[in-house]
Amino acid sequence: ANLVGYIRLALVLVTFSRVSGDEPTTQKTAFFYTLNVLLDGLDGFLARALGQVSVFGATMDVLVDNLSRAMMWQLAVPSPWCVLPPFLEMLVFACTHAEGGAAWKEGCFAQAPPFIAAIMRAGFKTPLGALTVAGLNF
């Protein structure tokens, strides 16, 4: 399943190099980004189905997610401000992993405010969690 993560990483880098030229095309960017999001879902599914869940794979998944969203922010807001959302996301990632380790989705949010706990409940697998993840991508 890590192979899908490496493919996603290569896809992000190739996409960014192709669309950050003089005339980036919206259709090309949307196609590659959507493909990356679909492969993200496949990655987790394959890891669980094949019994290949690992801390490395889970960490790489989040890092590639963050890199792909950072690319989209840079294309959407080409200014110094484009680094703020990916930086904040990475800061949260680092803090929750330092606190909760592999169980960061469950362990770190027991004492969180009710709204945050509702988003994180069942590892984002609730309507509010799905809406939050969708909001990160679109």
pLDDT for 87-122, tens place per residue? 888 888 888 777 776 666 666 777 778 888 788 777
Is 76's pLDDT higher than 70?
yes
Kindly report the pTM of this predicted structure.
0.75
How high is the pLDDT of residue 7? 92
How high is the pLDDT of residue 57? 86
Q: Are 110 and 118 in contact (CB under 8 A)?
A: no
Closest among 68, 55, 79, 58 to 8, alpha carbons compared: 68
How high is the pLDDT of residue 6? 92
Q: Are 124 and 105 in contact (CB under 8 A)?
A: yes
CA distance 56 to 130: 24
Mean pLDDT of the chain: 81
DSSP 50-68: TT---HHHHHHHHHHHHHH
